[in-house]
A and B are shown apart, each in its own frame.
Chain A
Amino acid sequence: MIRILLVLMLLILSFLSLFVGVKDISIFDIHQLDKDELLVIFVSRIPRMVAVLIAGVGMSISGLIVQQISLNKFVSPTTMGTLDACKMGILFSMILFPGSGMITKMVLSFVIALAASMLFLNISSKIKMRSLIFIPLVGIVFGNILSAISTFFAYKYNLVQNMEGWLIGDFSAIIKGNYEVLYLGIPIVFMSYLYANKFTIVGLGHETATSLGLNAKRVTYLGLGFVAITSTVVVLTAGVIPFLGLIVPNIVSLIFGDNLKKTIGLTALIGAIFLLICDLISRTLIAPYEIPIGLTVSIIGGIIFLVLILKRAKHV
């Protein structure tokens, strides 16, 4: 029942999203759109909607995966340095291969993001106290260190403002032809579906996983690989959208519990809905200007996360 409601909500919001923007296109004119309006819809509005949907689903699922693997509700691409690593990768490709295309940026960014995630998981597995609060704390500082390295080079090559640019996720520049790399996120989401149970088992510990006949290392790396790809394509096309992978799975688990079979779909749905809502807010609040969505998410998400930790920390 809830599922149907959510799907309905998603459809309505997606539809709405097509009719919000600088060029006034009314929903009631839908049967008599002129050529210009159709162009806007196909070149800008639909790509944007699709991008928001994929980013929302992808980042939420990424969060869910790492939370399963690390068995910590507050680990996510935001709190384990993955997003900072993506930024670093893009920066390095701009410095090392100026004028390079999407592929170079993507590959470098993916490699660095994957390496950083593995390094973080390694550090955190050495921590004895598996505290809910402690591991994300280390992760945030880890991300800050990566950021400091990036800033060092950005400052040197006069790219600080450029970097500030990608700090904030923004869908306004997305048009047909420059966002398609995001489609890579779709197969990843399906793969995550297939592997969901395995991630859960790996989270229970390598010994348990091995005794259940699972190659724990391989599954872990695969999971991190998924997360790194999703984060890379999202950062590359839209920019950093923080907290999404953190709060969506948490909200889902608070309301619907932790049965992964049930929650993975809900996480995807709610992730998409949440990001769509944020996108609509960003586009309408100070129209005709736009608030970068990364900022909207970061402020709304940051506050939700604060509430979540204060709430959950009570039970720790």
Chain B
Amino acid sequence: MFKHKIITILLVALLICIGIYMFTFTGVNLDYVLPRRGFKIIAMILISFAIGYSSVVFQTISANRILTPSIMGFDSFYLLIQSTLVFIYGDKTFQVLNAESNFAISVGLMILFSLAMYYLVFKRESKSMYLLLLVGMLIGTLFRSISSFIVMLIDPNEFMIFQAAMFASFDKINVNLLTISSVVLIGAMIFGARYFRQLDVMNLGRENAISLGVDYHKVIRVNLMIISVMVAISTALVGPITFLGILVANLAYELVKSSKHIYIVITCCLLTAVTVIGGQYLVEHLFNMSTTISIIINFVGGIYFIYLLLRSNKG
């Protein structure tokens, strides 16, 4: 079947990407390079799957193809947390606050934030999606202003700490965190997969879904929790990267030409992994680390977003 073919192709592409990433430009010190890269690959695949999964599901339960958690101010909120932490602890940030506690604080706050945000999205059912988008972006800008202000108060050395947090990076992942995260993320995915068939029905719209006996509110509630956890963990692990979601989720729909979640989610996860590993490879070897993957994502994602907006406007 067509969908299976796409998934197979993507799987092969992913393996090729992994192969190239692992075994080119290795230099002589294989014992050092290979385990390090292997670790990064695992992290990238894990995060990619979380992004792919959460983007598709979020779009289904919010019933549109343009919203992603990132656009609802999520990334800016992460920056706000990071700048506040650096502000509070100054250049001692990394002594006082080890990576684990920073992670725990960030994840906790972001889950709270996303639940509040989503609550707004779903309580204002009648409001237009574009209005929500605009409000989300404004809140994002507000957070960024505050972060910027905090950054101004920090001296240049500490700003470098913050700068590291501003861009997504797979170079700074901590082993312990990755282990905990992978357990939680995989658990969340398996738990969430049980809802795929109900999500298929949700795609028919609220009224049809209820008429077909889906517990509409429960499906939304449970899946929102899953997504919040996923997005919070992946952002806290690598930094702001969720904007990628809008790109890959829509591409997945274009590729698969089906609305079955099982196919869309798998395709989207694979697609994200290929994009992230491929992008990281380019950043490391083509741009020689002179840029970061999030700048590229923001650029390409932004253009694609305008395209989507203009297209949705015609329909």
Question: Chain B, 167-198, contact with A by CB distance < 8 Å: what is the 0/1 string?
Answer: 10000000000000000000000000000000
A292 neighbours in B (Cβ, 8 Å): 149, 152
A295 and B149 within 8 A (CB):
yes
Question: Chain A, 191-215, contact with B by CB distance < 8 Å: what is the 0/1 string?
Answer: 0000000000000000000000000
Question: Chain B, 124-153, contact with A by CB distance < 8 Å: what is the 0/1 string?
Answer: 000110110111011101100110110110
A226 neighbours in B (Cβ, 8 Å): none
The answer to whether A171 has its CB under 8 Å from any CB of chain B is: no
Question: By CB atoms of chain A within 10 A, which of B139, B145, B159, B299 has the most?
Answer: B145
B314 and A128 within 8 A (CB):
yes
A133 and B134 within 8 A (CB):
yes
Whole-angstrom CA separation of A138 from B167 in the bound complex: 24
Question: Chain B, 111-134, contact with A by CB distance < 8 Å: what is the 0/1 string?
Answer: 000000000000000011011011
Whole-angstrom CA separation of A295 from B309 in the bound complex: 29
The answer to whether A9 has its CB under 8 Å from any CB of chain B is: no
B295 neighbours in A (Cβ, 8 Å): 148, 151-152, 155
A303 neighbours in B (Cβ, 8 Å): 142
A141 and B131 within 8 A (CB):
no
The answer to whether A263 has its CB under 8 Å from any CB of chain B is: no
Whole-angstrom CA separation of A91 from B295 in the bound complex: 16
Question: Chain A, 102-141, contact with B by CB distance < 8 Å: what is the 0/1 string?
Answer: 0000000000000000000001001111010110111011
Whole-angstrom CA separation of A148 from B299 in the bound complex: 5
In the complex with contacts A129-B313, A145-B303, A148-B295, A164-B148 CB distance below 8 A: yes
The answer to whether A299 has its CB under 8 Å from any CB of chain B is: yes
B149 and A168 within 8 A (CB):
yes
A149 neighbours in B (Cβ, 8 Å): 299
A306 neighbours in B (Cβ, 8 Å): 135, 138-139
B131 neighbours in A (Cβ, 8 Å): 133, 309-310, 313
B298 neighbours in A (Cβ, 8 Å): 144-145, 147-148, 151
Question: By CB atoms of chain B within 10 A, which of A128, A151, A309 has the most?
Answer: A151
Size category of the A interface is 35 or more
Nearest residue (CB) in A for B290 is A156
The answer to whether A85 has its CB under 8 Å from any CB of chain B is: no
The answer to whether B310 has its CB under 8 Å from any CB of chain A is: yes
Partner of B142, one of A147, A302, A310, A313: A302
B134 neighbours in A (Cβ, 8 Å): 133, 136-137, 140, 309
Whole-angstrom CA separation of A151 from B159 in the bound complex: 16
Question: In the complex, how many residues of chain B place their beta carbon closer than 8 angstroms to a beta carbon of chain A?
Answer: 38
The answer to whether B292 has its CB under 8 Å from any CB of chain A is: yes
Nearest residue (CB) in A for B147 is A164
In the complex with contacts A133-B134, A137-B137, A299-B146 CB distance below 8 A: yes
Whole-angstrom CA separation of A165 from B313 in the bound complex: 36
CB distance from B72 to the nearest CB of A (A): 13
The answer to whether B12 has its CB under 8 Å from any CB of chain A is: no
The answer to whether A298 has its CB under 8 Å from any CB of chain B is: yes
Judged by DSSP, the binding face of A is: helix
A269 neighbours in B (Cβ, 8 Å): none
B156 and A152 within 8 A (CB):
no
The answer to whether A142 has its CB under 8 Å from any CB of chain B is: yes
B299 and A145 within 8 A (CB):
yes
A32 neighbours in B (Cβ, 8 Å): none
CB distance from A89 to the nearest CB of B (A): 18
A309 neighbours in B (Cβ, 8 Å): 131, 134-135, 138
A141 and B142 within 8 A (CB):
no
Q: List A153-210 residues whose CB lies under 8 Å from chain B.
A: 155-156, 160-161, 164-165, 167-168
The answer to whether A69 has its CB under 8 Å from any CB of chain B is: no
B291 neighbours in A (Cβ, 8 Å): 152, 155-156
CB distance from B131 to the nearest CB of A (A): 5
CB distance from A285 to the nearest CB of B (A): 12
A299 and B138 within 8 A (CB):
no
The answer to whether B286 has its CB under 8 Å from any CB of chain A is: no
B302 and A161 within 8 A (CB):
no
CB distance from B250 to the nearest CB of A (A): 15
The answer to whether A291 has its CB under 8 Å from any CB of chain B is: yes
Partner of A138, one of B138, B159, B292, B306: B306
In the complex with contacts A145-B303, A306-B135, A134-B313 CB distance below 8 A: yes
Whole-angstrom CA separation of A156 from B151 in the bound complex: 20
A137 neighbours in B (Cβ, 8 Å): 130, 133-134, 137, 309
CB distance from A286 to the nearest CB of B (A): 10
B141 neighbours in A (Cβ, 8 Å): 242, 298, 302
Whole-angstrom CA separation of A240 from B302 in the bound complex: 21
A145 neighbours in B (Cβ, 8 Å): 298-299, 302-303, 306
Whole-angstrom CA separation of A126 from B168 in the bound complex: 34
New A-B pairs, 14, CB < 8 Å, besides A131-B130, A303-B142, A313-B127: A123-B310, A133-B130, A133-B134, A141-B302, A141-B306, A144-B302, A148-B302, A152-B299, A155-B167, A161-B156, A295-B149, A302-B138, A302-B145, A309-B138
> 3 tightest A-B contacts by CB?
A145-B302, A148-B298, A298-B145
In the complex, 13 of the A-B residue pairs with CB atoms within 8 angstroms, ordered by the A residue number, are A133-B134, A137-B133, A141-B305, A145-B302, A155-B291, A155-B292, A164-B151, A164-B159, A294-B145, A295-B148, A295-B149, A299-B145, A309-B131
Chain A residues packing against B (C-beta within 8 Å)? 123, 126-129, 131, 133-134, 136-138, 140-142, 144-145, 147-149, 151-152, 155-156, 160-161, 164-165, 167-168, 242, 291-292, 294-295, 298-299, 302-303, 305-306, 309-310, 313
